[in-house]
Amino acid sequence: MGDEVKVFGFWGSPFSRRVELALRFKGIPYEYIEEDVIGNKSPLLLQYNPVHKKVPVLLHNGKPIAESLVILEYIDETWKSNPILPEDPYNKAKARFWAKFIDDKCMPAIQKAVLGPEKEREQAAEEVYDCLKALESELNGKRFFGGDTIGMVDIAGNFVGYWLRIIQEVTGVELLSAEKFPHLFKWTDEFVSCSIVGENLHPKDKVSVVIKARIDQMREAQTKAPN
């Protein structure tokens, strides 16, 4: 088709991972451009996402799209093979609901439980518990949130499916256990066992080092900050 597909991303971003996973599931070749999001964002990234100035950006035949969930929908509508959203409007609405729930509730709660001020972490851990309980209930016996195959909610949930268990190992804070959330825990195993997912995720050792550095840095900044 002569499509030119580029992804501006950052290896350590679960949001960038979403875009790459969706393209890989559909077998769409793309050029990946790694952004230096911490120190030196490229002029192209700022040009293509002037509102948020963030990764990921998908560039399709010169047209930029930002916001990972918006990009996932675009990918599913543009390349029809291996759909990641159900066709039925009601099931599609449910998938959108849960993807949004992961963004709006789960990820901020996990971030706060790990990186927030010490006195707020316990309450945030309770919020994480409620979030994971809701996901556990939605998953209820299915192999993936998408049913028998990986769908948009699984892809959106890669932070829970891969990163969270590494965060737990690094911090010693257990938020997601097999005892409390058997379905969800099993899902994280199924998710990373999928070859396309495994190939796109960075090695655990590399991720651990970066997560640890980030946590140390944030917590040190908090101890120095005035109350």
- In a 3-state reduction of DSSP, which class is residue 6? strand
Q: Which residue's CB is nearer to a copy of itself, number 76 or number 154? A: 76
For residue 183, state whether it binds a copy of itself (rule: CB under 8 A). Answer: no
Q: Pick the stretch among 17-25, 63-71, 147-155, 210-218 that binds a copy of itself (CB under 8 A).
A: 63-71
From candidates 74, 112, 121, 185, binder to a copy of itself by CB under 8 A: 74
Give which of 195, 191, 194 is closest to 164, Cα–Cα: 191
Q: How far is the CB of 97 from a copy of itself (least distance, A)?
A: 5
C-alpha triplet 59, 38, 222: angle, nearest 5°: 135
Q: Pick the stretch among 93-101, 144-152, 184-192, 216-224 that binds a copy of itself (CB under 8 A).
A: 93-101
CA distance 57 to 60: 10
The contact set with a copy of itself (CB under 8 A) reads 51, 60, 63, 65-67, 69-71, 73-74, 77-78, 89-90, 92-94, 96-97, 100-101, 134
